[in-house]
Chain A
Amino acid sequence: MTAIARLLLLLVIFQSSAFAFEEIHLQLDSLETTFFNTKNIVLSLEPQQSSQPGLSLQISNIHSPYIKQNFDASFDCVDLIYTVERINCGQGVLKIVYAEQEQIEIDFTFWINILDKSGQLTLATTLKNGNVIADFQLDADSNWQADIDASGLELAFISTVLELFKEYSIIDGKASLKAHMGGSEDKFENISLDANFTQLGIEGESVLDSVDIHTQMDMKMVDDNWSFITTLSLLAGEMYIQPGLNIMGEEPGFYIEVPAESIDFRLAGNWRPDMNMIELQDLYYSHPAVMQLQGSVRLALAEEISYSDLTLHAVIEDLGSSYPTYVQPILMQTNFSDLELSGAIDLSLDYEGTELNQIELFVDDLFLEDVESRFGLYGLNSHLALHSESEAVQSTLRWDGMSFYRLDFGPGNILFESMGKDVSVLEWRDVSILDGGLIIEEFALRNLASSDFELELGGTLTPISMEALTQALGWTIFPGKLSGEISGLKYTKNNLSLEGDIAFKLFGGQLNIQELQVDNLFSAYSVLTTDIKIDELDLEQLTDVFTFGKIEGSLNGRMDKLRLENWQPSYFEMEFSTPEKDDKPHRISQKALENLNELGGGLSGTLSQGFLRFLPAYSYGRLGLGCRLSRGVCELSGVEDDGDSFSILTKGGMFPPWVEVKGAGRSIKWNDLIDGLNQIIEGEVAIE
C-alpha cells in the first residue's frame, strides 16, 4: 500500500460528523517511512468556493533515497465529497517542487470506501514531453494492484530527478512502458513490465550509446520465493560493457555493435530471498551469427556474487566474428590478443558445485594466425572431452599444419584418453618439420583445460636440411643436414624448457643442447638461453659445404650461456679447438687460410706472400677460436695465448709446409664478424 493511500485512510478517523466542523487542521512534526521522511506535514480540511469541503496537504522538505534532492509537496483536492460510506475526490492536484523554479504537477482523483476500506487512486501527469498514467486499487480484503502506463518519457530528465543509479548517468533516451504490480497488504505478489527504450545513452564504467531495447519481465511470488522470466532484446546502437570480471588483473570490456538482427537475452529462474540465492534455470544469450549461449547457474548473493552448478553450452559459428567481440578482450594480457581466426566452436561445460565435472569441446576447421606472423595453426579439428567420472573418455585433435615464425610443421593428429584429471596420449602421428620430421616417442599432456596446461615431448628428428632451417629462422644460411634425439622438452605457461638433451648429428660430429629455456615463446619478445656442446665435428664435411675453403681435422667445443634475445645472440662464451688427440690429418687450404686472415679484419696471418701462396694446402698443429660475446663485441681468443697475441692455427702437422695464424686484435664487433662470414659464404671475398 502506498504512503499516500495510508494518509488518505487516516482521514477516515475524522469522517464522522465531518460537516459539523467548519475546518480541520492537523499538523505532524515528522513522518518517517521506508520511502521518505519529512519534518513538517500540515493537513487541512476546509470549505472551498463551491461550499464543498476541500482537502489540502502540505509537506515540506521531503527526503527520499530515491530522489536526488529534497522537495516540497502540496496535495489539493478541490472537489471533495464526503458521505458516511465514502470519500470521493473528483479533482485534485499534487505539486512537487524540487528546485526553485522546477515543479511537477500531477492530476489525481481518488475514492475511499470507509466501511470496507477499499479505494482507488488515479494519477496523470506530463513530464517534459512524456505522459504517465497510474492507477492504484485496494479491495476490501487488502489486496491491491497498481498499473502504470507511460509513454515518451525523457530519461535524461527522469535521471535528474530520480536517484536511479549511483555510478551511472542517463544522458539520453526515451522510455515507454506498461507495468502492473499486485499484492496484499504490504507485500508484492506479482510484477510485470513491458518496456521500450529508444536512443538510450548511459555513461559510467559501461556505456550505452543510442541503444534501442525492448524488455519484458514477469515475476510471481510462490511460497515466499520469486519466480521470474525476463527477456531483453537489443535492437540498435552500440555499447561497451564492463561486467566486472577480473581476468589476470584486468577488467575486460566488451564492445558490442547491435546488428540488424536483434541480440536477445533471456533469464528465467527463482529468487530465494531467505537463502539470498538466485537459481537461473534458463540463461540464454543470442548474438546472431556470432555466438549463442544457453545454460543454468546458481548464484549466491553475498558481498561478492559466487556461482555454483554452472552448465553452459556455447556455440560460436564464426570465430572470426566472435573473437574481437568476446574473446580478444579476455586475452588482452596474453600473447593471443591479436589473432586472425576462422572456424567454429561448440563448447559444453558442467560444474558440480564449484568443481568442473565435464567439459566437451568440438572445434571445426579452425584457422588461427598471429597478426605478427609469429605462429599459426591451420585446419584444426578436434573433439576434446574431460569427465570427472572414472570412465575413460577419448579425445581427438588433428591439424593440417602449424607454423612458428618461419618454421613450418606438417599435419598431425593425436588421440588421447582422459580419466578424471589424468590424460594419456594413445596415438599420434609424427610431425613433419620443413623437409624432415619429428618421430614422436614420448608425448604427454597434463592439466588440460587449465592455465597450468603442460605438454611434454620427446622423439627423434629425421634429417632436416640446415639450409631450410637457417633460412626459416632468418639466420646465416648454413648448409648440411641435421638429425638427432630430443628428450624432456616441456611447454607450460608460454615457456619452453628442456629437462633432457637435444642431441644432433651434424657434420660427422655430435651437438648437444642442454639447459634450454625459452621464455615468452609466443610473444613478440622471446628470450632463449642454453648451453651447446660440440664433439668431434668433422671440419672437412663442414668446410665442404661452405665456400670458406677446405679444412681437415676435428673440432670440439662449447658455447656456454648462450642468450638469444629476439632470436639474435646477445651473450655467449664460446671455445672451439682441435681435440688434443685427433687422428684426422690437419690440413688447411689456401682459400681457408686467407679467409681466416680476412675474417673480421682484426686478425693478421703470417702466410708468406711469396711462393707459399702458390701451394694448395698447408699443415697445421691445432686450430682454435674463442669468442665471448657481450655488449655486441666479441672478445677473441685462440688455441694458444702468449699474452700479447693468440694463435688461431698453430704450427704442426705431418707434412710441410706448416702454417700458423695469430690473432692481433682482441675484439671485433659481432655484426662485423657476421657480415664478414656472410660475405665469405656468399663468395664476395675474392681469394687471389
Chain B
Amino acid sequence: MQALKKYPVITSLLLLTACVTINVYFPAAAAESAADKIIEEVYGEDASLNENTDSSTIDDQSAISQPDAGIFVSFLQSIIPAAHAQQPDINISSPGISKLKSLMKQHHQKLDPYYDNGAIGMESNGLITVRDSKVIPLKERNIVKKLVADENRDRSQLYKEIATANGHPEWEKDIRKTFARRWIANAPGGWWFKDASGKWQIK
C-alpha cells in the first residue's frame, strides 16, 4: 500500500485498467449492409428498381462522442483490446438464414402485388401487416393473411437467427430495428409503411 501511495499516477492507471469493461457494440453499419443484402435478395427486381439510397443509419460506435483528451485517450486506446475498435462483420451465411431467405423470397413473389395495391404495408417493427383488406378480393383475403403470418414468422426467426449466428443473441432487437428501417428504405415507390409515429405513409 505504501508503494502505491508513492506512485499515485501509476496506481490510478492500474485501477483504471482494472475497471475497463470490454463491450462488443452492435455493429450497426455492418448490420445495415447485411440487411440490405438479404432484402435485395428477397425483393429481387423490386429492390434493383428502387433508386432510393436512403441510408440514415447512425453508427452506434461513431455516434459516441470522444472528447479530445490527447495522450490520456491514446493510452487508454492502447490498453483496451482491439476488439472494441474493430467493426465486426455480420455473418448471414448460416444454413438457417439461407433457408429463411429462400422462404421469404417465395413469399415475396406472392406478396408483391399486395404491396403494390396497398393491401399490405410495412410496420415500423420489421414486420408487415394487412393495411387495407378492402382491396383484396374476398376469396384471396385468407391467402393474404396466411402469407403475412408466414412472412412475419420467418422475419422474426431471421432476426433471431442472425443474432444467434453472430454469437450475440442480445442483438436481436437491434437487428430487428435495422431491418425495419432497411425494408422501408429498399422498398419501391408506392408501397405503404408506418412512420415512427405509427401513421401510414406511402413511399
| Smallest CB gap from A670: residue in B | B95
| Smallest CB gap from A240: residue in B | B138
Note all chain A residues with C-beta closer than 8 A to B165.
570, 631
Partner of B149, one of A209, A238, A333, A632: A333
Note all chain A residues with C-beta closer than 8 A to B149.
250, 332-333, 337
Size class of the A contact interface (CB-based, 8 Å): 20 to 34
Q: Is the CB of B138 within 8 A of A525?
A: no
Q: Is the CB of B157 within 8 A of A525?
A: yes
Partner of B94, one of A253, A333, A523, A565: A565
Note all chain B residues with C-beta closer than 8 A to A568.
95-96, 99
B139 touches A (CB below 8 Å): yes
State A209–B95 Cα separation when bound (angstroms).
Answer: 46
Note all chain A residues with C-beta closer than 8 A to B103.
524-525
State A524–B141 Cα separation when bound (angstroms).
Answer: 22
A255 touches B (CB below 8 Å): yes
Q: Is the CB of A570 within 8 A of B141?
A: no
Interface residues of B in 138-193 (CB under 8 A from A): 138-139, 141-142, 145-146, 149-150, 153-154, 157, 161, 165
State A524–B91 Cα separation when bound (angstroms).
Answer: 22
B199 touches A (CB below 8 Å): no
Count of chain B residues with a beta carbon within 8 Å of a chain A beta carbon: 24
Number of A-B pairs, beta carbon distance below 8 Å: 70
A268: shortest Cβ distance to chain B, in Å? 30
Count chain B CB atoms within 10 A of each CB in A238, A324, A338, A632 and give the residue with the most. Answer: A632
B134 touches A (CB below 8 Å): yes
Given A570-B94, A631-B93; A332-B142 close (CB under 8 Å): yes
Note all chain B residues with C-beta closer than 8 A to A238.
138-139
State A565–B101 Cα separation when bound (angstroms).
Answer: 13
| Smallest CB gap from B103: residue in A | A524
**Per-residue CB proximity of B88-126 to A under 8 Å, as 1/0?**
000101111111100100000000000000000000000
A670: shortest Cβ distance to chain B, in Å? 9
Q: Is the CB of A632 within 8 A of B139?
A: no
A328 touches B (CB below 8 Å): yes
Note all chain B residues with C-beta closer than 8 A to A329.
142, 145
Q: Is the CB of A338 within 8 A of B100?
A: no
Partner of A527, one of B96, B139, B153: B96
Count chain B CB atoms within 10 A of each CB in A207, A253, A569, A570 and give the residue with the most. Answer: A570
State A203–B98 Cα separation when bound (angstroms).
Answer: 42
Note all chain A residues with C-beta closer than 8 A to B94.
565, 570, 631-632
**Per-residue CB proximity of A331-356 to B under 8 Å, as 1/0?**
01100011000000000000000000
**Per-residue CB proximity of A414-448 to B under 8 Å, as 1/0?**
00000000000000000000000000000000000
Count chain B CB atoms within 10 A of each CB in A203, A207, A565 and give the residue with the most. Answer: A565
Note all chain B residues with C-beta closer than 8 A to A209.
138
A257 touches B (CB below 8 Å): yes
Note all chain A residues with C-beta closer than 8 A to B146.
328, 332, 337-338
Partner of A328, one of B91, B141, B142: B142
**Per-residue CB proximity of A554-573 to B under 8 Å, as 1/0?**
00000000001110111000
A331: shortest Cβ distance to chain B, in Å? 9
A239 touches B (CB below 8 Å): yes
State A207–B138 Cα separation when bound (angstroms).
Answer: 8
Note all chain A residues with C-beta closer than 8 A to B96.
525, 527, 565-566, 568, 570
State A569–B165 Cα separation when bound (angstroms).
Answer: 12
State A238–B142 Cα separation when bound (angstroms).
Answer: 14
Q: Is the CB of B145 within 8 A of A566?
A: no
Q: Is the CB of A239 within 8 A of B138?
A: yes
Note all chain B residues with C-beta closer than 8 A to A523.
153
State A570–B94 Cα separation when bound (angstroms).
Answer: 6
Note all chain B residues with C-beta closer than 8 A to A255.
138-139, 141-142
Per CB-CB distance, the 8 closest pairs between chain A and chain B, nearest first, are A565-B96, A568-B95, A566-B99, A570-B94, A240-B138, A565-B95, A631-B91, A566-B95
| Besides A250-B145, A255-B138, A338-B146, 7 new A-B residue pairs in contact (Cβ under 8 A), listed by A number | A253-B142, A253-B145, A524-B154, A564-B95, A565-B97, A565-B99, A632-B93
What are 27 A-B pairs with beta-carbon distances under 8 A? A209-B138, A238-B138, A238-B139, A240-B141, A250-B145, A250-B149, A253-B145, A255-B138, A255-B141, A257-B139, A329-B145, A332-B142, A337-B146, A524-B99, A524-B150, A525-B99, A527-B96, A565-B94, A565-B95, A565-B96, A565-B97, A565-B99, A565-B161, A566-B98, A566-B99, A631-B91, A632-B94
